Structure 1
């Protein structure tokens, strides 16, 4: 992002704040009809990208927009301003029936080209190339081999489907509608959480809870990152926010830089799995599946706890093996310092309650945002001044802009996949490769999502993978919500897995470590993302479904499996583990986690039995040595 001169920075900040304020107002008092909402959303955010982000970081002006940037911004505004002004005409059009005039063609091309450039600058070049590739496929479809062949599309059909078919997808499709409504208001809630001092509360709480134990800074990083994830819209921003404090502390007490970066990356990525917010993709899931958001939050709760349990267990075992000390007492805040900000959890509780009562997500977030401002006034140290409120609106607007263009780009991909039948073709290929085997299908889909995650942010990666994979899972008899949660989990952890892992690379930059090695460490610390993702398919108890015995059994299996696996790769349980014992514990943990062909009682017996046997053996050895 550019370092703009004060006058232009102020102007852009006011623009972003005003745009965010409009979204907040709509969240509480009702949105206009869809095309107006979606066009306004892109009108205020796409041109802003060209002012804030240089075309080429090493060659473009870093302190001001160039003349081409201003022309890009103007060009980006024109099609969305036209759609907003002519919303009745857009709504009254019969898609693919009414003539697509030269004027519409020119506007559509302008919208698509400027969106591609905005994605390239502010999000990921890989996503821009994917969008362009899907458009190119609509041209080249007749010459593609086998199941990839599709009918020929005219230029008018390509542009219309990518731009002006709000019911199908494209720039103004349902995905942009979700971004402009529910996601936008939740981003505002997160920004006001940060502005009110809730971040300080989370940091102090993490230090007070975990700082006194072995490897304290690493445990603080895990807890703080998980809490920050409830209000952060990005795993990368989560790494930057908390990692600047926690990574140096971890290195100082003895963690290798790459390990410290991996712990922070795994913990930050998991923030998107943590209720009550779960990240932007979860709102898309609620819209796609028509499942109430509150139900999704409940289903994801145990999985999120397991994810962070695994990281904490791994950190603990590693710290014990290395003989690390707790945080210095001077760095641990007293509980009265935590209590001084404790009132800030009330708006979060209000949000959870409203969601559980099945209020709409945007209205629940609107009420929680106003409550955050009101609650902050209860104490001087948290009181939000007019400047703090304005800064929160600005930060929300600046967060919305890249997300707006990435989701609109994903809408074009989904539209192209749908009209060409490529969703069916890809689904058929995956289905044929799986050969009717559900485990093989899950493995292929997981690999697909992880590959997509190399160059695409979590939300569009989830959207595209869900379009391809969920129908195949449904045909295999998997229920709708578990199928989407499976895809969602792998889309989230893709930010931490090699070879390209945005969150891990950001952590590596702070730790001054190799990005590839850091991403490998992030993958091992985030192992629960793989086991819990599979558990959504095979163990309904992990989603709080079924009998109490089934829920407890599913949770116990995960606990035992994750404890075994994390102890195995850390090389420590109650005492150091030898090579062969590590291998046996790791195998037992993997069987307990993935041996779904076995009865639950058998998996639990393997996991708990191996854990108990090694723990009791190490304790007996320690007693003999002490005697």
Structure 2
């Protein structure tokens, strides 16, 4: 993003503030007609992309170029026409809504604006999101022009250029102004603004201090603080990279200072930040899109995600504990741990979060609940002098919310174009035929193929776009195998998120490695091992609805315990410690045993619990002597440190 200065900075800020105010007003007092809402959404945000993001390395970094101004001005026209330029005294949006798609002619002005919109969305994706998604969208559009020349399952009838432009520009269900952009323009936009307000109010520091108080004194304290704070802050930010920079700037240096390897500290931050997107009550933007695609209330989705998210962070915590014990690390310096009075002095900043949760519990829509959560930020900040927000602070939060919306709006528009390419040509059915042909009757093979596809997508495109595309091609296949709708979409959602922690392209690991000053690939490998719980939980959804809290409590408790015990064995096998250091001969069998405890559904769940609990107890007792020696060493080291601290405190100097 450019570092704008002078009048251009204030102009961009004014546009971003206007975008936030528009979405706040419509979210609180009633959205516009869908086509109009989506048109205004892109009318404001698409031009802003060319002002905020340079075209390349040689472009000015402090101001837009002449070409940027021209593209920004052109970007206004398609959305302005779509919203309602005068045409016989009627709004174009009404005309578009009433036209018969693929039957009514495409007027020359619509053809011109459609081409402009497609080209500018692709270019904005390249600048502001990622060249990979821009290339993917461009390839999909190119495929529509040559599909009659393609062989095998890629072959499709000739599609006229006018129909391609019509599909991308004038359709109300697909394309640039389709339903996916509609979700971005309503629910997602509200929660992006909510996240900007919560972050700007100082909640991030509250979560850090709370994590220090809860976990700071334990072995490897800073790493556990990071896990706790990322779990809490990630559910508000909804972005793994934003979470890395918000919490990692505190926790990664503290972990390195305590004795953790740099790549381990970065991996812990990356894996924890990625998990924030599956942590209720807010989760990532994909969860709101899931609610719209599946027609399942967001409250139901958030409730169903609780068990899986707890298991995810449980494995990271237990892995961090094992690594700390293996390295003989202690907790934070007692002088660095805040008192409860210091932590609780900022607890009033959580009032907006509880307002939002309470509104959703009362049955209000998530967007309306987010609206009241945003409204509650300012009065709650005035409960204490040191947290008071002034008008300048509110304007800054509105501007941040508008800027943050640009990337998500473009990703949704791009995903809408690509999904339209898949559906128009029948590629969704072709992909389904390929997967079912390779998998046969085996659900897990189909799951592996879909997981790999979504992971590859997620390595190159944002989580939101990866989920949308993955849900279009993968969720229907899983449903053919009898997987419930919610479980199928949660499976795709998990793997679209886990791509951020999966090498070789792990964006969260790259962000964390930039803070830790270590190899991104090494950090990615650590993050992948820590995030393995997400892979296990994702596949657990395929054979059981218990972790989605949609079964009897007997089965829910059993599956949760089985997964917790299995993940403990996995962590022990990966990091070489249980009660004491583990030899390789013991580590290797623990990994398949952990997977068996979680995924081997032919064995009833409580039998799996009994088997794995027996293994864990036997391993614990078998390492008793080794653990005693380990504890003796730790006690001696603690005594030496205590003597050194006492000597420093009593020294005359």
Q: CA deviation at 1:287?
A: 0.1
Greater relative CO (CA pairs within 8 A, separation 6+): 1
Task: Note if contact 1:195-1:384 (Cα within 8 Å) is conserved in structure 2.
Answer: no
Task: Note if contact 1:43-1:77 (Cα within 8 Å) is conserved in structure 2.
Answer: yes
| Structure 1 portions without partners, runs of 5+ | none
Distance (whole Å) between structure 1 residues aligned to residue 382 and residue 14 of structure 2:
24
State the match for 1:13 in structure 2: 13
Larger radius of gyration: 2
1:116-165 deviations in whole A, cap 9, x for unaligned? 00000000100001111111111121122222211110101111111210
Residue correspondences, number: 625
Q: Map 1:313-352 to 2 at 5 A.
A: 313-352=318-357
Q: Map 1:519-530 to 2 at 5 A.
A: 519-530=524-535
Change (3 A) 1:624 1:266: closer
Task: Describe the SS at the equivalent of 1:153.
Answer: coil
Q: CA deviation at 1:354?
A: 2.1
Is the counterpart of residue 73 in structure 1 residue 72 in structure 2? Answer: yes
Distance (whole Å) between structure 1 residues aligned to residue 598 and residue 523 of structure 2:
25
Task: Note if contact 1:485-1:533 (Cα within 8 Å) is conserved in structure 2.
Answer: yes
State the match for 1:289 in structure 2: 294
State the match for 1:419 in structure 2: 424
Q: Map 1:361-440 to 2 at 5 A.
A: 361-440=366-445
Distance (whole Å) between structure 2 residues aligned to residue 331 and residue 395 of structure 1:
31
Q: Relative to structure 2, which stretch is displaced further, 18-27 or 225-234?
A: 225-234
TM-score (normalizing by structure 2)? 0.94
Match of 1:234 among 227, 234, 239: 239
Task: Note if contact 2:16-2:403 (Cα within 8 Å) is conserved in structure 1.
Answer: yes
Task: Describe the SS at the equivalent of 1:454.
Answer: helix
State the match for 2:511 in structure 1: 506
Task: Describe the SS at the equivalent of 2:317.
Answer: helix
Distance (whole Å) between structure 2 residues aligned to residue 409 and residue 432 of structure 1:
30
Task: Note if contact 2:227-2:317 (Cα within 8 Å) is conserved in structure 1.
Answer: yes
Distance (whole Å) between structure 2 residues aligned to residue 282 and residue 506 of structure 1:
23
Distance (whole Å) between structure 2 residues aligned to residue 293 and residue 601 of structure 1:
31
Q: CA deviation at 1:497?
A: 0.2
Task: Note if contact 1:292-1:358 (Cα within 8 Å) is conserved in structure 2.
Answer: no
Distance (whole Å) between structure 1 residues aligned to residue 527 and residue 436 of structure 2:
31
Distance (whole Å) between structure 2 residues aligned to residue 157 and residue 605 of structure 1:
61
1:325-345 deviations in whole A, cap 9, x for unaligned? 211222222111111011222
State the match for 2:612 in structure 1: 607
Runs of 4+ with deviation above 3 angstroms: 620-627
Is the counterpart of residue 175 in structure 1 residue 180 in structure 2? Answer: yes
Q: CA deviation at 1:584?
A: 2.2
Is the counterpart of residue 475 in structure 1 residue 480 in structure 2? Answer: yes
Distance (whole Å) between structure 1 residues aligned to residue 10 and residue 587 of structure 2:
57
TM-score (normalizing by structure 1)? 0.98
Is the counterpart of residue 156 in structure 1 residue 162 in structure 2? Answer: yes
Q: Map 1:570-589 to 2 at 5 A.
A: 570-589=575-594
Distance (whole Å) between structure 2 residues aligned to residue 259 and residue 482 of structure 1:
32
State the match for 1:64 in structure 2: 63
1:389-426 deviations in whole A, cap 9, x for unaligned? 11111111110011101110000011111111011111
Task: Note if contact 2:579-2:627 (Cα within 8 Å) is conserved in structure 1.
Answer: no
State the match for 2:642 in structure 1: none
Distance (whole Å) between structure 1 residues aligned to residue 569 and residue 595 of structure 2:
8
Task: Note if contact 2:238-2:283 (Cα within 8 Å) is conserved in structure 1.
Answer: no
Distance (whole Å) between structure 2 residues aligned to residue 622 and residue 70 of structure 1:
67
Is the counterpart of residue 300 in structure 1 residue 299 in structure 2? Answer: no
Task: Note if contact 1:238-1:268 (Cα within 8 Å) is conserved in structure 2.
Answer: yes
| Structure 2 portions without partners, runs of 5+ | 85-91, 633-653
Distance (whole Å) between structure 1 residues aligned to residue 97 and residue 630 of structure 2:
80
Distance (whole Å) between structure 2 residues aligned to residue 210 and residue 623 of structure 1:
24
1:340-394 deviations in whole A, cap 9, x for unaligned? 0112222212222222333111101111111222222211122221111111111
Task: Note if contact 2:234-2:276 (Cα within 8 Å) is conserved in structure 1.
Answer: yes
